[in-house]
A and B are shown apart, each in its own frame.
Chain A
Amino acid sequence: MIALLARDLRLAFRAGGGFGLGLAFFLIVSVLVPFGVGPEAEVLARIAPGILWVGALLACLLSLDRIFQLDFEDGSLDLLATAPIPMEGTVAVKALAHWITTGLPLVLAAPVFGALMSLDERGYWWIFVTLLIGTPALSMIGAFGAALTVGLKRGGLLLSLLVLPLYIPTLIFGAEAATRGIGGFDNATPLLMLAGITAASVALLPFAASAALRINLR
C-alpha cells in the first residue's frame, strides 16, 4: 500500500499539472474575488472563510477525475483490482494520495491567501484548522464520485453534478466553524460535526467506492 501511495504521488508530481492545478485555481479565486467584491477590508474579512472554503472545494473538484481515470484507461486499475491488497485499501490510498497532492497544499497555502483576503491571525489559524480537518472528507467523497463515473467517456461534468450535493454538508460545517472561530464564538459543534463527517467518510466511503469500482470493472 505504501508502494502504491509512493507511485501515485510520483505520478502526480512528475506528470505535472495535477499538483499545481488545484493551488493555481485557489490562487485565482483568492485574487479575483477582491476585484469583484471591492477592496474594503471589512467586507473581505467577513466573506473570507466562505470564499476560501468554496475555493478549496472547487479546486478539489477540479482534480477529482484524475484519481481513477488514468489508471482505468491504461489498465493498471484492473491489475490493482486483482492485486493482493483489498480494493477498499486501494481506494483509501488513492484518496490519500489525492489529498496529499491537492488538499494538503491548499491547507498549507490557505493562510497565505487569507492574507490577500485581509484575515487576521486568528483567521489564519481557523482557516488552517478547518481545512485540515475538512479536506480529507472532500478527497474521500470525491473518490467515491470518481469511482462511480470512472467507466464513462466524458465523466467530468457528471462527476461534478454527483459530487456537488455530497459536498454541501462538509462545506456548511467547515465554513461555519471557520466563521465562528474567526468571530471569536464557540465553534465546537460545527468543528465536531466536520470531524465526524471526515471520520465517517474515511471509514465508510472506501467500501461504497470500491463497490462502484468493482461494478465498473466488471
Chain B
Amino acid sequence: MPEMHRTKQARDRYNVLWEWANPVKFMWFSGLALPWLVGATVVTMAVGLVWGFFFTPEAVNFGSSVKIIYVHVPSAMMAISAWFMMLVASLIWLIRRHHVSALAAKAAAPVGTVMTIIALITGAIWGEPMWGTYWAWDPRLTSFLILFLFYLGYMALWGAIEDPDTAADLTSVLAVVGSVFAFLSRYAVNFWNQGLHQGATLSLDKDENIANVYWIPLLFAMAGFGLLFVALVFVRTRTEIRKRRTHALELRERMADA
C-alpha cells in the first residue's frame, strides 16, 4: 500500500536524524570532523582577527579602540548562542533522553561562561576610554552579568550532584526555567534603565549598518568564534563520553572483583 510505504519512509528519514545521538556514532563523526573543524577555526579566526586588528582603518571618533569589536561582538554573540544551544540540548535530553545531548549541554556551559567573561572584560576595556567608566549599570551590561550568574548556577548544579542522570535532569529543568527568567530579566533591565550602550549596529534588516571595511573582517571573526565554540563543545563532549565510559568500566571491574 503506497500510503503505508510513505509513512515508513518518513519515519526512516526521521530516525536518521536521531541516530547521531548514538554515542558511538557521535564519537566516530566528531573524531572525523574535529581536525577539519579546528583547521577551519584557526583559519577564519586568524583571517578575521589579523585583518580586523591590522588592516582596517581607525574610526573617526574611536581611534584604534574600535578594533576590540573583533573580539567583543563575536564573544557576546556566542555567549548568548551557547545558552540557547544548552536550552535546545536540555529540551532534547528531557524529551528524548539522548545522553549525548545532556553531555553536550554540560560541555557547552564553561565555554559559554568564558565567552560571557570575555565579552564583559573587553566591554570594560572599551568602556573606560569611551564612556569614562569600566562598568555602568547599562541594560546590556547588566543582562550579561545576569547571564553570567545563570551560567555559574548551571555549572554549580552540575558539579554538586553525583548521579549523572539526576544531574542532567535537574540542570535541564534549570536551563528551561532559567531561559524564561533570563528573557524576562532582559526586558526588566531594559525597563529599569535606559543605557549607554549603542543599539545593534549589525542586523540584517536595516539599511544602515557599519561600513563594509569593518563588517567583512567582523564576519570572519564571528564565524571563527562560532567554529571555535563548536570545536570546543565537540572536544569537551568527547571527553565527557570517555569519562562516562571509563567510569562504567571501573564499575564493571569492581563488580568482577567482588
Binding site for B on A (CB under 8 A): 144, 148-149, 151-152, 155, 158, 161-162, 164-166, 168-169, 172-173, 176, 189-190, 193, 197, 205, 208, 211-212, 215-216, 218
Q: Is the beta-carbon distance between A144 and B157 smaller than 8 angstroms?
A: no
Q: Is the beta-carbon distance between A158 and B188 smaller than 8 angstroms?
A: no
Asked if B223 is at the interface of the complex by the 8 Å CB criterion, the answer is no
A181 to B: closest C-beta gap in Å: 15
Proximity bits, B167-209, A CB within 8 Å = 1, else 0: 0011001101110011011011101100000000000000000
Q: Is the beta-carbon distance between B185 and A144 smaller than 8 angstroms?
A: no
Dominant secondary structure of chain B at its interface with chain A: helix
Chain B residues near A151: list those with CB within 8 A: 161, 166
Interface centre among A155, A189, A211, A215 (most CB of B within 10 A): A215
Given A148-B174, A173-B188, A176-B191, verify A162-B157 contact (CB < 8 Å): yes
B170 is contacted by which of A161, A176, A215 (Cβ under 8 Å)? A215
A158 is contacted by which of B156, B181, B185, B189 (Cβ under 8 Å)? B156
Q: Please tell me which stretch of B15-23, B30-38, B145-153 contacts chain A, meaning at least 4 of its Cβ atoms lie within 8 angstroms of it.
A: B145-153
Chain A residues near B156: list those with CB within 8 A: 158, 161-162
Asked if B255 is at the interface of the complex by the 8 Å CB criterion, the answer is no
Q: Is the beta-carbon distance between B166 and A215 smaller than 8 angstroms?
A: yes
Given A151-B161, A158-B156, verify A215-B188 contact (CB < 8 Å): no
Given A161-B153, A172-B191, A172-B192, verify A205-B177 contact (CB < 8 Å): yes
Chain A residue, CB-CB nearest to B193 = A172
Report the Cα distance A212→B174, complex, angstroms: 9
Chain B residues near A215: list those with CB within 8 A: 166, 169-170, 173
Classify chain B: how many residues form its interface, as a range: 20 to 34
A193 is contacted by which of B149, B153, B166, B188 (Cβ under 8 Å)? B188
Chain B residues near A148: list those with CB within 8 A: 157, 170, 173-174
Asked if B60 is at the interface of the complex by the 8 Å CB criterion, the answer is no
A174 to B: closest C-beta gap in Å: 10
B166 is contacted by which of A172, A173, A216 (Cβ under 8 Å)? A216
Chain A residues near B182: list those with CB within 8 A: 165
